[in-house]
Chain A
Amino acid sequence: MSLAPTRTPSSVTVGDDLPELAIPLTRTLIVATAIASRDYQDVHHDPGLAVERGSKDVFMNILTSNGLVERYVAEWAGPAARVKKIKIRLGVPNYPGDTMTMSGSVTAVDDRLVTVDVKGINSLGPHATGSVVVELPEDAA
């Protein structure tokens, strides 16, 4: 298996846009990711209890929001990149049946540290907005 290339500092520029990524928010995704993150709060897997607690349905947990933001930026950066910061502000919930569209753009390049501003937006509005800092490998000499 050949490894995907990793971006280097000279290959990214402030203002670069990441390709958008649409993530279908299936019920299975929401439940499977909650359990994979060891979050057993009933609002993330039990629709009846979620409604009883005032939600319209189960909804995605925060660890998954962080995980998907990391996935989006880390896959753009490439496998040798290391994630140094993930910062998100939470907005509207991710409910089953919706789609979250991730978008991002490079806002800072400081030596090997690249800051990408990220938004994950669903039909209700912004679910997560924030930034990720990745450390890229040095440019080949």
Chain B
Amino acid sequence: MSAGTSYDDRQYDERLEAFIGRVLNERTPGQDPVNVPMIRHWVEAMEVANPVHLDADAARATGRDDVVAPASMIQAWTMRGYAATVRPQAAAGGFQELIALLDEGGYTSVVATDSEFDFVREVVPGDEISVEEVVDSISPEKATGLGVGRFVTTMKTYRDGAGEVVATQRWRTLRFKPAAKVEPRAERPKPAINLDNAFWFEAARERRLVVQRCTSCESLRHPPGPECPECQSFEWDTVECSGRGTLYSYVVAHHPRHPAFDYPLLIAVVELEEGTRLITNLTGVTPEDVTIGMPLAVQWIDDGPDLTLPVFGPAAPEPTEES
């Protein structure tokens, strides 16, 4: 049983942190300048109907000087091509050093998770595009659906022949320790469903979060029960919840372990927007990152063929109406 972080772990973290701000891939030119045949291939395969990529008259009618490449194609201009993919040359540099260090930490698998392009200007046939990649951040180890891993965020800067930036791309990959093949997961202990609470589990199977409402005094109550604790009425209906709430309280369970759950297990009391509280699990967040009051949003998990349950994860920031 080791608690806390060992000297070796801290040293490994520091070696990773040393990569932040480092150039992973020096500025590398694409194999060919931006050209119409490659644009045509892209536009046809993607079934792009917009004529400004191939028809110069249409492009001029929209205020452009000539045809323009699709914006997202910027990455394609700097792809290494077929030969370098199937017969890669031995290379040495920041990228190879970082991959070696991640391999050493056991993070041998990779999956891309996010891409964020900002386009400065449209690129046109004849542009000679190059790309440079710099490390932006490397996350602490996180538990993910694929296994524990670290998110590596880099910034790719695309420039034209004059060295002017035409686009940037924030690029995030998860470098993870592949989980060993696992047996089908054990199912959770089943809730006792009865006439008084069946409506709640039936709604959950349809991925609807509901709260019971007294139709006499309109107060909401949870967990479900036959009688209103406020006015003793037996008449009730339900209201649909927004699925948003905040963290009211939580515990981190380490033992005893049940094979249906991942540990450390976050058991939370979530205060729903509607006002009632719900005991549930947190997902997509580690105990270190949990804070009381954090905004949460419902997600649904299927546990066996007959049970669907709400769990809560960090809410994406809501767009504000005022701005």
**A and B form one complex:** yes
The interface of chain A, by Cβ under 8 A from chain B, is 1, 3, 6, 14, 29, 32-33, 35-41, 62-64, 66-71, 74-75, 79-80, 82-90, 107-108, 137
Whether a CB of chain A sits under 8 angstroms from the CB of B248 is no
Choice from A32, A37, A63, A85 contacting B116 with Cβ under 8 Å: A85
Whether a CB of chain A sits under 8 angstroms from the CB of B219 is no
A62 and B115 in contact (CB under 8 A), knowing A3-B51, A36-B46, A82-B122? yes
Asked if A3 and B112 sit within 8 Å, CB to CB, the answer is no
Q: How many angstroms from the CA of A3 to the CA of B52 in the assembled complex?
A: 10
A79 and B50 in contact (CB under 8 A), knowing A40-B82, A67-B73, A86-B72? yes
Point out the residues of chain B lying under 8 angstroms from A82, CB to CB.
71, 119, 122
Choice from B45, B58, B81, B115 contacting A66 with Cβ under 8 Å: B115
**Closest B residue to A32 using CB positions:** B45
Asked if B71 and A90 sit within 8 Å, CB to CB, the answer is no
Asked if B114 and A90 sit within 8 Å, CB to CB, the answer is yes
Q: Could you tell me the distance in whole angstroms from the C-beta of B84 to the nearest C-beta in chain A? A: 9
Q: How many angstroms from the CA of A9 to the CA of B45 in the assembled complex?
A: 31
Choice from A3, A33, A40, A70 contacting B86 with Cβ under 8 Å: A40
Asked if A37 and B118 sit within 8 Å, CB to CB, the answer is no
**Closest A residue to B117 using CB positions:** A86
Point out the residues of chain A lying under 8 angstroms from B2, CB to CB.
none
Asked if A85 and B117 sit within 8 Å, CB to CB, the answer is yes
Q: A36-B41, A36-B42, A40-B86 are in contact. List 4 more A-B contacts (CB 8 A).
A: A68-B46, A82-B119, A87-B114, A108-B323
A90 and B48 in contact (CB under 8 A), knowing A38-B79, A40-B85, A70-B71? no
Q: Which residues B96-124 have CB closer than 8 A to chain A?
A: 111-119, 122
Point out the residues of chain A lying under 8 angstroms from B55, CB to CB.
1
Q: How many angstroms from the CA of A64 to the CA of B115 in the assembled complex?
A: 12
Q: How many angstroms from the CA of A74 to the CA of B62 in the assembled complex?
A: 13
A70 and B112 in contact (CB under 8 A), knowing A1-B51, A3-B51, A40-B85? no
A40 and B81 in contact (CB under 8 A), knowing A63-B75, A66-B117, A79-B52? yes
Q: How many angstroms from the CA of A89 to the CA of B50 in the assembled complex?
A: 25
Q: Could you tell me the distance in whole angstroms from the C-beta of A23 to the nearest C-beta in chain B? A: 8
Q: Could you tell me the distance in whole angstroms from the C-beta of B61 to the nearest C-beta in chain A? A: 5
Which of B45, B48, B85 has the most CB atoms of chain A within a 10 A radius of its CB? Answer: B45
Asked if B79 and A37 sit within 8 Å, CB to CB, the answer is yes
Asked if A67 and B72 sit within 8 Å, CB to CB, the answer is yes
Asked if A70 and B51 sit within 8 Å, CB to CB, the answer is no
Asked if A36 and B45 sit within 8 Å, CB to CB, the answer is yes
Q: How many angstroms from the CA of A70 to the CA of B112 in the assembled complex?
A: 19
Q: How many angstroms from the CA of A90 to the CA of B172 in the assembled complex?
A: 10
Whether a CB of chain A sits under 8 angstroms from the CB of B63 is yes
A67 and B114 in contact (CB under 8 A), knowing A1-B51, A84-B119? no
Q: Offer 13 A-B interface pairs, CB within 8 angstroms, sorted by A.
A: A3-B61, A35-B45, A36-B38, A36-B76, A66-B117, A75-B49, A82-B122, A84-B118, A85-B117, A86-B115, A86-B119, A87-B116, A137-B63
